[in-house]
Amino acid sequence: MKSLIFDLDGTLINSLLDIALSMNKVLEKHGYETHEIDKYNYFVGDGALVLVKNALPQDTTQEDVQLVLKSFIEIYEQNTHNNTFAYEGIYEMLEKLEKLKIKKAILSNKPHLFTLKYMENLFNNFNFQEIHGQKSDVPKKPDPTMAIQIATKLNTPCNQIVFIGDTSTDIKTAKNANMLSIGVAWGFRPIEELKEAGADFIAYKPMDIVDYVTSL
């Protein structure tokens, strides 16, 4: 039986509004222009630093980027669960995977402490064997290092892992780690991005993940 690695934001949870409102609050505080919420669909996915760089003008100094990043972490930490929720059908999908005794892990580019916080608050009833957010000592996705380490800890060969995410970053991570990939249609990015990145399967609803994995 295959083992699964899930992305978090845009895959299991819709966290966009809390991220966008927190970032806009920080931008306003530091005198920068804010952005429409929809723009954050393309700002997120590659970690907090890239989010901040995407939200700031291109000519922002590195010192100011770090200052805004620090402010964002502080503000977001206070507002992580105001509007964030698991997508419809996610809990039912996870319950089915647990009945099938399929191993599950999380690999996110969200800072590790935030990743743990979300998992504890929204998925405490489910058994994820490994949970990893972005850490300073490990390259972030699409580098395959952490995905391969997770496969080792799950005692599953990489070619028996299915990586599930909502952006091309996730699909590239799967390819770089020699894993199968599922792109989810309900996330932050359009389906075309997932197809162009080479997703092996597109899930239009969470239960499609179960159907695909059990068909392999």
Average pLDDT over residues 34-50: 96
Pairing of strands 104-111, 13-14: unpaired
Averaged pLDDT, 139-168:
98
pLDDT at 82: 95
181-to-50, 52, 57, 200, 206 alpha-carbon distances in Å: 24, 28, 34, 5, 14
Task: Note the pLDDT tens digit of each residue in 168-215.
Answer: 999 999 999 999 999 999 999 999 999 999 999 999 999 999 999 999
Query: What CATH number has the domain spanning 16-78?
Result: 1.10.150
pLDDT confidence of residue 128: 98
Name residues whose C-beta falls within 8 Å of residue 20's C-beta, 6 or more positions apart in sequence.
35, 37, 40
Q: Is 11 helix (H, G, I), strand (E, B) or coil?
A: coil
Residues with Cβ within 8 Å of 75's Cβ and at least 6 positions away in sequence, in order, are: 22, 25, 26
Q: Residue 61: is its pLDDT beyond 80?
A: yes
Task: Enumerate the H helices of the chain as residue ranges.
Answer: 16-29, 40-43, 48-55, 62-78, 90-99, 112-122, 145-153, 168-176, 191-197, 206-215
What tokens were used for 17? 């509004």
3-state secondary structure of 213: helix
pLDDT one-digit tens code per residue, 119-144: 999 999 999 999 999 999 999 999 99
Q: Which of 2, 1, 12 is nearest to 170 (CA)?
A: 12
Residue 4 confidence (pLDDT): 99
Confidence of residue 158 (pLDDT cuts 50, 70, 90): very high
Q: Give pLDDT tens digits for 17-41.
A: 999 999 999 999 999 999 999 999 9
Task: Considering the chain, tell me which residue range(s) the CATH 1.10.150 domain(s) occupy.
Answer: 16-78
**Two tokens at 133?**
């957010």
User: What pLDDT sits at residue 148?
Assistant: 98
Q: Is the pTM of this model over 0.75?
A: yes
Q: What is the pLDDT of residue 131?
A: 99
Reply yes or no on whether the pLDDT at 60 is more than 90: yes
The predicted pLDDT at position 18 comes to 97
Enumerate the CATH 3.40.50.1000 domain ranges in the chain, comma separated.
3-14+85-215
| CATH code, 3-14+85-215 | 3.40.50.1000
